[in-house]
Amino acid sequence: MTAITRDDVLDGAAALLAEGGAAALSMRRLAERLGCSYQVVYSRVGDKQALLRALHDRGFDRLSDAAIRTRTAARDAGVGAAAVVVATALGYLEHAVDDPVRFEVMFGAPVEEFVRDEEVRAREREAFATCWVEPVRAWFEERQVTRPRGGATALAWQLWTATHGITTIHLAGHPSPAGDPRREIADVVTLLLRSREDAGDRSTATATGRTAAAVDGGTTGPDPGTPAAG
């Protein structure tokens, strides 16, 4: 008999969740499915909480790896940073559709024993930075848009939550107005990027105007020789 690996155990657990939901996942059923003892399962992943955490972490590892591959392929193809952000968002949707159970373990609470402690949340923040913040920073740099402190993280959060919302609604079986969640995501991501670029242009124009006024001897506030009111 071929030795059972850690991935075998995780694949078996994911299959149980997919077939019967949270109630179907137990260490005993998992051992039966794999044709081994409970001790073998435990030696590969630990207890049920550790098993769920391993499924969670593997999901985020795969999501991060896919995002990196998307950026690499886009860079090799010579596409712009905005297209990379759109491709990242579409990859997020594909990741969820490919394995909804994995997606639920990553972002939901499908099994009571799974606790989202600080270690779990740190893993999620790391993936957020890899999947969303990094391509958004590249977009800011390419477009030369004024970026306030924390601006990349703020925009990345908006892009992620918009994409996640459409993805979750799609998985729940609600059709989009366009009938195509990919189109909806691409449109929303493009709209958010354009909105931020327009805001950056306005900020730059304001700063330029103030600089020009100062050079011309003008002021942008009350006449410094006039006592402040009140």
Mean pLDDT, the chain, integer: 84
Asked if residue 177 and residue 76 are part of one domain, the reply reads yes
Report residue 4 CA to chain centroid gap.
32
Is 51 a member of any domain?
A: no
Asked if residue 73 and residue 22 are part of one domain, the reply reads no
Asked if residue 39 and residue 150 are part of one domain, the reply reads no
And the tokens for 158? Answer: 């908006």
- The predicted-structure confidence for 52-108, as pLDDT tens digits, reads as follows 899 999 999 999 999 999 989 988 999 999 999 999 999 999 999 999 988 988 998
pLDDT bin (cut points 50, 70, 90) of residue 18 is confident
Asked if residue 153 and residue 73 are part of one domain, the reply reads yes
User: Considering its fold, how many domains does the chain have in total?
Assistant: 2
- For residue 8, give the CATH number of its domain: 1.10.10.60
Asked if residue 205 and residue 93 are part of one domain, the reply reads yes
Range of the domain at 176: 58-209
- The predicted-structure confidence for 125-140, as pLDDT tens digits, reads as follows 999 999 999 999 999 9
List, in order, residues 6 or more apart from 93 with CB less than 8 Å away: 163, 166, 167, 170, 181, 182, 185
- Which pLDDT belongs to residue 191? 97
- Which pLDDT belongs to residue 217? 47
- The predicted-structure confidence for 143-170, as pLDDT tens digits, reads as follows 877 777 889 999 999 999 999 999 999 9
And the tokens for 183? Answer: 């189109």
Is 196 a member of any domain?
A: yes
- Which pLDDT belongs to residue 31? 93
Asked if residue 119 and residue 9 are part of one domain, the reply reads no
Is 136 a member of any domain?
A: yes
Asked if residue 134 and residue 81 are part of one domain, the reply reads yes
Compute the distance between CA of residue 118 and CA of residue 90 in angstroms, rounded to an integer: 28
Q: Please report which residue ranges of the chain form alpha helices under DSSP H.
A: 6-20, 27-34, 38-45, 48-77, 81-98, 100-107, 118-128, 134-143, 151-171, 181-215
Query: Amino acid identity, residue 106?
Result: M
- For residue 77, give the CATH number of its domain: 1.10.357.10
pTM value is: 0.80
Residue 131 is given by DSSP the state I
Asked if residue 96 and residue 8 are part of one domain, the reply reads no
Decide which of 86 and 201 is more confident.
86
Q: Residue 71: phi, psi to the nearest 5?
A: -65, -40
